[in-house]
Amino acid sequence: MASIIRVDDIQDSGGNSYLSSNGSGTFTTSGLGLANTPAFYAKRTATQAVAANTWTKIQYNSEEWDSDLAYDSSSNYRFTPQTAGKYFYSLGLQMRPDNGTGNLVLIKLALYKNGSIYSNATIDFRNDRAYEGIPPLTGAISLNGSSDYIEGYTYASTNSDSALTIRDTTDSPNPNWFTVNKLIGA
């Protein structure tokens, strides 16, 4: 025999509501720690010039979402969460030599924490491809929720030391992105 339990509100012994129902299938949670927020997803919507052989901040300038307004997509291009915790991050990048003919020799993609490299990935090329991408940089990071911030940077070189360009966004999905979300239970 099956049993049915019907309640409108589940509370702890202190009277704090954790799970409520409005009676028509809509639930509200509070204090369960089930939200992966703060979270954001930003992308680069146009080309960006990158000087060869120098670290350059990637200007991910267009947000698809930003749950807590913690990512600045207009001036310093950084994520500054006001909630302490562990966060998952992912960055994507494609670039090319400005003249389209120089050989890319090296691309680095890095996550900076508080102005210093936290993690990075490197691709070493030895060919004539005009456009090159780097596998996404992903990982987890602990942020204090008050002063920590993270940013995306790139370093690239060519065999001719020509200027480079972060690729435009004509492809779908966009090859240039920066996304972060708070991890639950970590």
What's the pLDDT score for residue 127? Answer: 54
Digits of tens for pLDDT over the chain (186 positions)?
688 877 787 888 888 877 788 877 777 777 666 678 899 999 998 889 888 889 999 999 999 999 999 999 999 999 999 999 999 999 999 876 655 555 667 789 999 999 999 999 988 765 545 455 678 899 999 999 999 999 999 998 876 666 778 877 665 567 889 999 999 877
How far apart are the C-alpha atoms of 167 and 124, rounded to whole Å? 18
DSSP 79: B
DSSP string, 82-145: SS-EEEEEEEEEEEEETTS-SPEEEEEEEEEETTEEEEEEEEE--S--SSEEEEEEEEEEEE-S
Question: Which residue spans of the chain are classified as CATH 2.60.120.40?
Answer: 36-182
Q: Which fold has domain 36-182?
A: Jelly Rolls (2.60.120)
